[in-house]
Every structure is written in structure tokens, then in C-alpha cells.
Amino acid sequence: MTYKVLYYVNQFFGQIGGEEKADIKPILKMEKVGPALGFEQLLGGEAEVVATLICGDNYFNEHEEEALKFIIDAVSEVNPDIVVAGPAFNAGRYGMACAGVANYVVDELGIPVVTGMYKENPAVDHCKAKAIVVEVSDSAAGMRNALPVMAKITKKLLNKEELGLPQDEGYFPQGKRLTVFADERGSERAVKMLVARLKGEAFETELPMPVFDKVEPAAAIKDIKKAKIALITSGGIVPKGNPDRIQSASAQKWGKYNIKDIDSLKGGYYTIHGGYDPVYANEFPDRVAPLDVLKKYEKDGEIGEIYQYFYTTTGTGTSVGNSITFGVEIGKELKEAGVDGAILTST
Amino acid sequence: MKLELRKIKVTDLALGNEMKFENGLLTIDPQVIIDGLMEDVNVKSVKVDIAKPGDKTRIIPVKDVIEPRVKVEGSGNGFPGVTTKMEQLGSGVVNVLSGAAIVTIGDIVGFQEGVVDMWGEGAKWTPFSTTYNIVVDISVVDGLQPHDHETTVRIAGLRAAEIVGEVARNITSDEVEVYEMGSIFEETNKYPDLPKVLYVEMLISQGLLHDGYIYGVNSQKILPTLIHPNEELDGAVISGNCVAACDKITTYQHQNNSSIIDLYNRHGKDINFMGVILTPELTTLEGKFRTCDYTAKLCKSLGADGVIISEEGYGNPDSDLLMICKRLEDSGIKTVLITDECSGWDGMSQPLADTTKEAVAVVSAGNVSHVVNLPPAEKVLGNPEAIATLAGGWEGCINDDGSMKCELNAVIGSTSEIGYHNLTVKLY
């Protein structure tokens, strides 16, 4: 069986014209145009370029929504096994068009995309996490070197072969930190790295330090005595029986529970958190999520009211990616409910 | 100090009517272990089984792994301060049933217990698929409080290792590993031109199931302390079954601490290995400042040029790891860190809970959330359903046919931060 490839190019590589044709609307040609010709030869008969999509760079960037609608319809009609775009070299608008097509095709249709860009093309960062972006030179003079690399990767993806390391295969890292087996155990690698450092020799860290987001604190609450306060914890406090089956580590979800009619979590709640000694939290879950104190504050008029739902998940081993999702989802609910402030506890 | 570990190679394992070792075959009489462990009034019942490399056997939930040994010369048989009377460790001759391990299982006390698969896909993720495992299933008397339950099963595992270790008492071995090191001054006189290196081993110290013990002292109660590497290799440090299974340091891994052994191998060649500093990982900010300052001070006082720092667990201990690193680098001491990563199922999340630019040399032992698919076992020792509640598992992660999907979190020793296993992370 030969696989089907759909090729995307701009007006120039689509042989329609130069800058003066940059506002042409997308068209689908059921033939190989421009780089698609040479590209197909490099696939060695394993796959065929069945169609070429051509769109003006200005049109795409100025009418992205319409362009993508046409493109997604065209891709659905052709139903390729893979989409190849560019290479866009250092062309900014062409790069953004390739990135836009790539992200949309991957997200909406789940079809893999291979493209090529120069390392300083700003579009690299827009799509490298979703598409495979081959590192190419800064001008079309590099076409001859770019296409074989793109073709080799395309064949591997079509044959469901695992791609090697980005630096070996020639694409930009997608930002996935994948677990693999090393030739030596970790301690041996550590000792070697230390000896190299002490001798002043070259060494390479296996884990470059992450760069953290900074979150601006919200403005102060104007009148705490009228404020609606929510209670949130990453301490794994859940109703006994863990009805939503929240994980004890590496949480994939959060839960919310009605606390309107109780003055304390004692008795009905316990912890499923796998990162601390649960004995004392199980004795008295308010030690982790202080509902008892909040309720007292509410009665004494120290705060306006307590939001009727309590939000909870497990913090230990939970990825930052999941945490961001949880935060956005919970934050949206709190905002819609008119909550003014939240007590967040961790363990 | 001079410690001789005489390695008696175990190449097969069987159950039988007596305890013996012959031509590589270790035979276990379950009743001997059962009788020994039942002396503890808190133990209700004990079951003993075996699992050999290649057997289609799954062991779950695993609490600890311990190497069976017996000390034949010198002071301190067993685990002084825990199972035997206090003695100085680090010198003498130990007969080791090398290749065998005691693996303890039983009702879950905490979510941090793990899984060992002896064959196929699961085997490659854990170092304990290659050991001949004597699996001891411990049930405790009804009504025992969690802390007592935990202590009971921990001690039962250590005792089982002593009982099995006795088999080695009169066996001779051709393979002898000698670990010998004089005082820091003697070694420095011997190797004046070699860089002075220390190993900082961080120990989780956070309560039930989260403590390391040194001669029976809870690491939660100590200031960072200097220990001769031989003492740890001789059984001075034991696991309190701490944190997620993937990066807890089991007792077996303390007895065979790979960072100590790999540093020893370079001693007198590229480095002057001066010793080990055991550092508790405390949960309070004040505690972190105290232990990190104190650790850095010890390294500076001893004149270290380079330090390897290994973590235990993840999350808040990432801060301790990086705080120690920053303090040392700021003092001109070069560091290498060993840690693991929490980068999510897809590997796209930031890997650590803290960051510092001074950490320029880091060994990664794998992503704890890496998901593995484990095929059904022919035989399960323990309770396969436990996976749903372990750290690294979830409700529904086990299928009707017994196959299951879990994170490395649940696989014992997979992302060992003392560098005992061979996983790493690459950026794709």
C-alpha cells in the first residue's frame, strides 16, 4: 500500500506568482506542484503526493479563519495519511501559514504534519510542539538539503516508526521529556559528570533547569467582611470512599463537594494523598483544609460567606500541565459564582 | 575501616524442607521464616513464596526489599539499633547472598507501596526483576494502629533477611569486594593531588512511611551527619518505606548504594572520596534552611572540591536539593545532582518543583509519570487490585484480563535517585 501525502505551499512555491499574488485564496490542485515533485521522488515509492494546497501568504495571515475552513475541508476530502508543508525557510508569513495549517490539521483531524523552517523563523515556536519542524537553512537555496530530511521523517511517521533524538533526526525538539534507557546506571553517569567537571572537561546536564512562570498576585479584597471565600486544597481531602476516584499521586482530575451544611470535614472526609503521613489528616481533615475555622469566621462575621463547594485534588507528582488545566477550570467556576477570594492549602 | 563483602552468587531459588545453599541454589524452608517472624506478637500470619527472574509473576504491593546477609567477622550482625543491639558497623567480613532479595508485601499501609514484574515489559523497569526474590507476605493482628502496622512489617522484613542470611554463614566465596578507607587525613596524604569529593545522600524524613533510619534513629530527628561509606554498605541505614515506589531508597539499595560504590571505584584514581553526609528532607521552611545550611557547612568544613547530591522523592525535596546545590556552588564547590522528573504523562510539563540556575550538572533518573503497560501475570503474589490505590495507579487501570497500565511511580526502584537503575530522560 502506498500512503497518501497532501502538500501545502504558498503562492510562490505553488508557481502562481510572487508578492503580487500573495493575496490569492487557497486552491486545491489534485497534482504535484513545486517542491511536491521533488519530495515525492524522495519517498522512494512508499508514498504518493496526491494533491497540493496553495494559498497566498497574505491571504492566510489576514483571513486565517476562512483559509483554515477551506483547508480543513480540502484535507478532509483528500484524506491523506500525512500533510507536508513548506519548507518556509526564514519567511515569516509563509512560516506562520505553515504553522497555522499544521496546528489546525493536528488538532482537528489528528493527521501528522511535517514542515521545515529556519531556526530564527518565529513560526517555529508556534507549531513545534504539534508538528515535526525540520531545521532548514534561511533561504530557498537550502531546498536541496531540506527535502531529504523532511522525506526521511515523513516515511518514518507513515510507517509508525519512532523518531530518534531531534539532533540526530534534524528537527526542533517538541518539548517532550521522554523516559529512555541509558547505557550506564545513574550513579555511574553522575560520577563521570563530576569527574569531568573537576577536571575542567566538557559535560552535558541531562536536565536543564526549568524556567518558571510568575503569577501576579490578585488585588487585595476591599471588604473581607462581605467577601465570598472558597476553600481549595491540593492535600487530597475527599469524601470517604473517594467517589470521584481522584488519584493518590499524579492527579488527572479534581473534585468538588458541597460543604454548605457541615461545620467541619471531620467524620465524612479523609485523605487519599500519597505524599504525606495520612494519620493526622484522617483524624481531623480540617488540619489540611480548615473548614472548621472558616465556618467560625463566617458565624462571627469575620468574612461574608463561604462558597458552598469545596475544591480538592492531589498535589504530589501532579504535572504542572495538569495543574494549569485544573486551575483554569476551577478559577472559571469560582469567577462565575462570584467568589471574591480563596484559601488554597497544600501539604 | 575495612569491610569485606563476600559475594555468594545465588543463581537459583527453591522452596524446600530445609534452609541451605548448594552450587548456586538457595533453598528456603518457609516454616523457618514463619516461625521467626511469628515471635513478634503483632504479626498474625506470614506466607512465604518465591519469584525468579523470568517467572511470569507480579509482586504487589511491595513495601521494602532487603538483601540477606550475615556478618561472620567483626561487630554488628543484622541491623544494629533496629533488630539487633547497638554495635559499630563498617568493618569486618559479611557473607552476602548476592542476587537474592527479601521482598515484603501485605495489606497496604500507605499508598507508596509498589509493583515488581519478574518478566517481559515490566521487568526492564525495575532492578528487582533480576534478583531471586523471597516474597514474605505479612499480616498483622487486628486493630493495630497504622504506625505500629508499618513498624511491624518493616522489622519483619529485616528479620526475614537475617534469617535467610544465616544460610550463608559457613559458605565460602571466591568473590570478595573490599571497601577500605583510612581517615580523611590519611587518604588526603595518600592522594594529595586528587579532588576531594563528598556524597550527600538526602533521606525523606516526613512521618509514617516517609522516614529513613540510621542505626535505628529516625532521620527526622538529626542534623545532617557524616557517616563512613562502609557503615551504610554494612546496614546502618534502612528504609522507612518512603515515598512513591519509583524513587524510595529500599533497604537493599542502601546496602548496595550505587552512588557510594561508583564513587569508591574512582577513589584513589580520579578522586579522593571522603565520605557520606546523610541529610534529612524536612517539610518546614525552617527545617529546610537548617539542614541545607548545615549540609553546606559540613562540605565546606571538610574542604570538599566536588559533591554528588542524591534526592529521595520529589516535590518539596526538590527545593532541598537545589538549596544545597546553590549553597555549594556559591562556595565554589562543584556539584552533580541526581533527581527524577514529574513531567506528566506526555512529558510536556516542567520537570521539577523548584529551580536554580546554579544547578548546571544534573543526572535525570526518568519521569515518574511515564506510563507503562504491563501484560497479565500468570501468578500474582499479593493483591493485584492494590494498583488502583497506589501512587502511580488509578481506579480502572487494571483490566479484567489482569493487564494494567500504571505510571513508573508505582514500579519499585524504577527512577532511583541514588542512580541505582539505568533510566534517563531525553528531550524530544
Q: Is A147 helix (H, G, I), strand (E, B) or coil?
A: helix
Q: Is residue A200 part of a domain?
A: no
Distance from CA of A235 to the nearest CA of B (A): 13
Q: Is residue A193 part of a domain?
A: no
B208/A252 touch (CB, cutoff 8 Å), yes or no: no
- Chain B CB within 8 Å of residue A38 CB: no
Calculate the average pLDDT of chain A.
95
Give Cα A52 distance to the centre of its chain.
Answer: 29
Does the pLDDT of residue B207 top 80, yes or no?
A: no
Average pLDDT for residues B146-174, to the nearest whole number?
A: 93
Which residues on chain A are in Cβ contact (under 8 Å) with B351?
Answer: 177, 207, 210
Instruction: Report the distance separating Cα B111 and Cα A277, nearest Å.
Output: 10
Considering chain B, what percentage of its residues have pLDDT values greater than 90?
Answer: 88
Among A245, A235, A242, A229, smallest CA distance to A285 is for: A235
For residue A307, the surrounding DSSP H or E stretch is: strand A305-312
Q: Is residue A321 part of a domain?
A: yes
Which residues on chain B are in Cβ contact (under 8 Å) with A179?
Answer: 347, 366-367, 370, 408, 423-425
Considering chain B, what percentage of its residues have pLDDT values greater than 70?
Answer: 99
Contact between B133 and B118 (Cβ < 8 Å): yes
Residue with the larger pLDDT of the pair A8 and B148: A8
Q: Is residue A195 part of a domain?
A: no
C-alpha cell of residue A244: 470521584
A134 and A249 share a domain? no
Tell me: the pLDDT tens digits for B20-36?
999 999 999 999 999 99
Q: Strand (E) positions, A247-304? A: 255-258, 269-271
Does the pLDDT of residue A201 top 80, yes or no?
A: yes
Tell me which DSSP letter residue B188 carries: H
Tell me: the pLDDT tens digits for A16-49?
999 999 999 999 999 999 999 999 999 999 999 9
Which residues on chain B are in Cβ contact (under 8 Å) with A278?
Answer: 110, 146, 208
Q: Is residue A189 part of a domain?
A: no
A190/B419 touch (CB, cutoff 8 Å), yes or no: yes
Which residues on chain A are in Cβ contact (under 8 Å) with B207?
Answer: 276-277, 279
A164 and A233 share a domain? no
Which residues span the domain enclosing A292? 224-345
Looking at chain A from residue 167 to 186, which residues have their Cβ under 8 Å from any Cβ of chain B?
173-186
Chain A interface disruption, residue of B253, B322, B350, most A CBs within 10 A: B350
Which residues on chain A are in Cβ contact (under 8 Å) with B334?
Answer: 194, 197-198
A130 and A274 share a domain? no
A160 and A233 share a domain? no
Dihedral angle, C-alpha B149, B312, B294, A205, nearest 10 °:
180
CATH number of the domain that residue A135 is part of:
3.40.50.2300
Instruction: Report the distance separating Cα A85 and Cα A95, nearest Å.
Output: 9
Residue of B206, B339, B347 lying closest to A277 (CB–CB): B206
- Chain B CB within 8 Å of residue A162 CB: no
Model confidence at B242, pLDDT cuts 50, 70, 90, reads low
A43 and A160 share a domain? yes
Tell me: the pLDDT tens digits for B58-80?
999 999 999 999 999 999 999 99
A179/B366 touch (CB, cutoff 8 Å), yes or no: yes
A254 and A144 share a domain? no
Least confident of B111-115, B137-141, B403-407: B111-115
Q: Is A61 helix (H, G, I), strand (E, B) or coil?
A: helix
Question: Is-catalytic flag, B292?
Answer: no
Write down the pLDDT at residue A274.
Answer: 84
Q: Annotate B316-364 with DSSP letters as a single string.
A: HHHHHHHHHHHHHHHTT-EEEEEEEE---TTS-S-S-S---TT---EEE
Tell me: the pLDDT tens digits for A95-139?
999 999 999 999 999 999 999 999 999 999 999 999 999 999 999
The nearest alpha carbon in chain B to A165 belongs to: B428
Instruction: Report the distance separating Cα A30 and Cα B317, nearest Å.
Output: 59
Among B45, B16, B296, B24, smallest CA distance to B175 is for: B24
Which residues on chain A are in Cβ contact (under 8 Å) with B345?
Answer: 250, 319
Instruction: Report the distance separating Cα A76 and Cα A62, nearest Å.
Output: 23
Write down the pLDDT at residue A277.
Answer: 82
A190/B420 touch (CB, cutoff 8 Å), yes or no: no
Write down the pLDDT at residue B209.
Answer: 62
A138 and A10 share a domain? yes
Please tell me the pTM assigned to this model: 0.91
First to last CA, chain B: 46
Does the pLDDT of residue B157 top 90, yes or no?
A: yes
The nearest alpha carbon in chain A to B108 belongs to: A274
Last residue of a domain, one of A151, A169, A187: A169
Tell me: the pLDDT tens digits for B265-305?
999 999 999 999 999 999 899 999 999 999 999 999 999 99
C-alpha cell of residue A27: 486552491
Tell me: the pLDDT tens digits for B321-357?
999 999 999 999 999 999 999 999 999 999 999 999 9
Q: Is residue A33 part of a domain?
A: yes
Least confident of A210-214, A342-346, B51-55, B261-265: A210-214
Contact between B28 and B13 (Cβ < 8 Å): yes
Residue of A177, A193, A278 lying closest to B336 (CB–CB): A193
Q: Is residue A54 part of a domain?
A: yes
C-alpha cell of residue B313: 522523592
C-alpha cell of residue B187: 587518604
Q: How many residues does chain A have?
A: 347
A243 and A338 share a domain? yes
Tell me: the pLDDT tens digits for B122-134?
999 999 999 999 9
Q: Which residues of A264-286 are buried (b: 16+ CB within 10 A; e: fewer)?
A: bbbeebbbbbbbbbbbebbeebb
Q: Is B90 helix (H, G, I), strand (E, B) or coil?
A: coil
Does the pLDDT of residue B159 top 80, yes or no?
A: yes
Write down the pLDDT at residue A1.
Answer: 61
Model confidence at B208, pLDDT cuts 50, 70, 90, reads low
Chain B interface disruption, residue of A162, A174, A194, A314, most B CBs within 10 A: A194
| DSSP collapsed to 3 states, A104-142 | HHHHHHCCCEEEEEECCCCHHHHHCCCCEEEEECCCHHH
Among B321, B334, B101, B296, smallest CA distance to B195 is for: B334
Distance from CA of B122 to the nearest CA of A (A): 14
Which residues on chain B are in Cβ contact (under 8 Å) with A212?
Answer: 350, 355
Helical ranges in chain A per DSSP H: 35-42, 57-62, 64-78, 92-109, 123-127, 143-158, 166-169, 186-199, 279-283, 291-300, 320-336
Model confidence at A168, pLDDT cuts 50, 70, 90, reads very high
A248/B262 touch (CB, cutoff 8 Å), yes or no: no
A190/B363 touch (CB, cutoff 8 Å), yes or no: yes
A27 and A149 share a domain? yes
A152 and A39 share a domain? yes
A8 and A141 share a domain? yes
A39 and A116 share a domain? yes
Tell me how many domains chain A contains: 2
Write down the pLDDT at residue B306.
Answer: 98
